[in-house]
Amino acid sequence: MAQHDYVISNGTGAAVRSDLNNALLAIVSQNSGATEPATMYAYQWWADTTTGTLKLRNSANNAWIELMQLDGTLTMEDGTAALPGLAFRDDLDTGIFRAGTNQFAISSAGVERVEFGASEVVFNDSGANYDFRVEGDTNANLLFVDASADAVLIGTSTANGSALLQVNGGYNILKGFNRRPPLHRGPLFTKTAATTLSVVADCSLNGFFYSSATAVTMGTHTNNTDMAIWQHPTSGALVSDASFTTAPAGATGGSIVAGYHYIPSGRPTAVNSGSPTASAEILEYSIWDLTWRPECPDPRGMANIDGRFWCDLYLCGSTSFAGTTFSAVQSSKIGLTIADNSSPPLIPSFYGGNGSTAYSLTGGNNPGSWYNFFEVAHSFGKRLMFSWEFQAAAFGAPEAGSRGSDPGTVQWERQSKWGLAQATGTLFSWGIERVGIYTSGSNANTGGRGTEFADAPRAVFLGGAWNFGAGSGSRYADWSNVPSNGDNTISARFAAGHLVLG
C-alpha cells in the first residue's frame, strides 16, 4: 500500500530518488490505502483497502466514484461478494437507467432475475410456471414455457397464454406456420375409415405440431355436404362440422384448417360405373387443408384429380354467386337448379352483377353462352375445363349412354370415380378450348363487346347430354358450336389449379 502527493521536493540526489520511487509505488498500487489520499486530483485512482473497492475521483474533484470490488467481482456499489449484483448510481441516470436502487442487478431470491428498480426480468420462476417474465405487472408477463404443451407461450398465465412457438420433435414452429412431412404427397388428413379422418404425423398445421397421427373428432354427416375441420386455438384439437362460419364445441374460438365432402354410396372405382361403393363415405379426393388445396378462394364442393388439378363435383347452379365469405353460394353444390340457357347463371359482381340479375340474350350472345360461363368461372377464381381434364375427371361415370330426360337440378347420379355427379349423359359442359382459323369470316355475337374474326370460331363442350344417347361419355367432345351459342342442354363445370404449400 502506498500513497503520494505527487510533488517532488528539492533535496539531495538520494532524497529525490526516494521521493520518485514512492510516487511510482503509489501509481502502480492505485494509491491503495485504508484511508483516502491526503492530496487528491480529478480522475485519480484509489484502491480502498478498507471497503475492498476500486474508486475513481470525479471530474469536480469532490467525491469518489465506486467502480468495482478488489476481489475481481463485477459488483458495483449495491452488490456484495456474497450476493453479486450490477447496479448504477443515481448520478448515472441517463434516461436508460432510472434513478434508485437495484436499477440493473443480478439477484437471487428463490429465482434467477435481472432487476430494474422495483421490477425485475425473471428467468426460471418455476413456482409461477414462468421462464421469462417482467415482475410487478401481470399484464407484462411476456414469455413462459408450458412443458405440457411443448410450447413457448405469450400472455399472462399458462391458462390464457397464446402459443407463440411450439417446441417438439426438434422443431421450433412459429404460430401460423404450416409444415408438411418430408416427401409427403397428399393432404395432411387421411381417411382412416368411411367416416373418420386423422391428421398425419410429423406435420405442423397453423402453428401446431402433431408428432403422431391425431384423430379428428367427427361431426354429423349429411350426404353431399361439405364439412369444415376446425382447430382449437390453444390445444390444437381438431373437430369437423358442417358449419363454415361458427366454430363447434371442442374448437371454440378456433379457425378452419381443412375440409372435405361427404357423399352417398354408389361411387364407381373402375371404368363405366364399375365396382360401385356400398356405403356413404368421406370422398377422399375432396380432402383439402391449408397446405394442399385448390388455388381458388372457396374449396368447397371440389375434388383433386390425382394430385394434378381440382374440379367441381357438381354442375354450376343458376344461383351460384361468388362472395368473400363462406356464406356465398358456391359454384358446386347439390340441389341447385342447373344453370343453362333456360335458367341462366347470375352475372358476377366483377362484371357488374348484383346477386340477383341473370344473364340474358344480348347482342346475339345467348344467356348460357361460353362467354358468360367463362365469366362466372372467373368470378370464383376458377376456369372452364380442358377436354383432357374432363376425360380424366369423368372416368368411371356411365359410358355410351344418357339419362333420357332433363334433370333440372343438381343431383347425385351418373357419378365418376373422383365423385363428379352428373358427369356424363346429363348436360353438355362448356370446355375452355377454342378453335378457329381466319380466312374471311367473323362472329359479332359477343354481347356488344366487339367482333371475333375467324371462320365460325368454335368452343368445345363435353360429356354429352340427356338426349344424346350412346354418344355421351367421358371422351365426348363437340367442337361445332360458336361460343355465343346457348341451349338448355349446355351447362358448365369449373376447374382450378392445385396448390401445395409448406
Q: Residues 311, 424: one domain?
A: yes
Residue 67 lies in a domain: no
Indicate whether 257 and 336 sit together in one domain.
no
CA dihedral of residues 355, 357, 363, 369 (deg, nearest 10)? 60
Helical ranges in 380-452 per DSSP H: 387-393
Q: In whole angstroms, what is the distance from residue 448 CA to residue 412 CA? A: 38
Give me the pLDDT at residue 61, please. Answer: 93
- Asked whether residue 441 is assigned to any structural domain, the reply reads yes
Could you give the 3-state DSSP secondary structure of residue 39? coil
Q: Where are the beta strands (DSSP E) in 290-367?
A: 292-294, 302-305, 309-312
Where the chain has pLDDT below 70, the residues are 73-176
- State which of 152, 175, 198 marks the end of a domain: 175
> 262: domain range?
185-290
Q: Is residue 103 one of the residues assigned to a domain?
A: no
SS3 at position 248: coil
Of 263, 290, 317, the one marking the end of a domain is 290
The whole-number pLDDT of residue 433 equals: 96
What order do you get walking across the sheet with 196-199 strand by strand?
Answer: 189-193, 196-199, 214-215
Q: How far apart are CA 204 and CA 171, in angstroms?
A: 10
Which three cell numbers, joined as nine digits, stand for 42?
480529478
Same-domain check for residues 239 and 342: no
Residue 302 three-state SS: strand
pLDDT at 355: 96
**Residues 284 and 303 occupy one common structural domain:** no
Determine the Cα–Cα distance for residues 169 and 187; give it in Å rounded to an integer: 21
Q: Which residues pair with 302 in a beta bridge?
A: 312
β-strands 490-492, 428-435 pairing: parallel
pLDDT digits (tens, 9 = 90+) for 276-332: 999 999 999 999 999 999 999 999 999 999 999 999 999 999 999 999 999 999 999
Number of H helices, E strands in the chain: 3, 30
Backbone angles phi, psi at 165, to 5 degrees: -135, 150
Q: What letter does residue 139 receive in the DSSP assignment? A: G
The answer to whether residues 381 and 368 belong to one domain is yes
| Same domain, yes or no: 297 and 407 | yes
* 403 is a domain residue: yes
CATH number of domain containing 227: 2.80.20.10
- Residue that is last in its domain, among 290, 308, 341: 290
Set of cell numbers at residue 2: 502506498
Instruction: Tell me how many domains the chain contains.
Output: 3
**Distance in angstroms between the alpha carbons of the first and the last residue of the chain:** 70
Asked whether the CA dihedral 468, 459, 330, 343 is positive or negative, the reply is negative
Residue 431: which CATH number? 3.90.1580.10
pTM of the model: 0.70
Same domain, 202 and 343: no
**CA–CA distance, 185 with 421 (Å, rounded to integer):** 26
Which of these, 428, 98, 411, 80, lies nearest to 89 by C-alpha position? 98
Which pLDDT does position 115 carry in this prediction? 53
Pair 173, 165: CB distance under 8 Å: yes
Residue 109 lies in a domain: no
Same domain, 399 and 314: yes
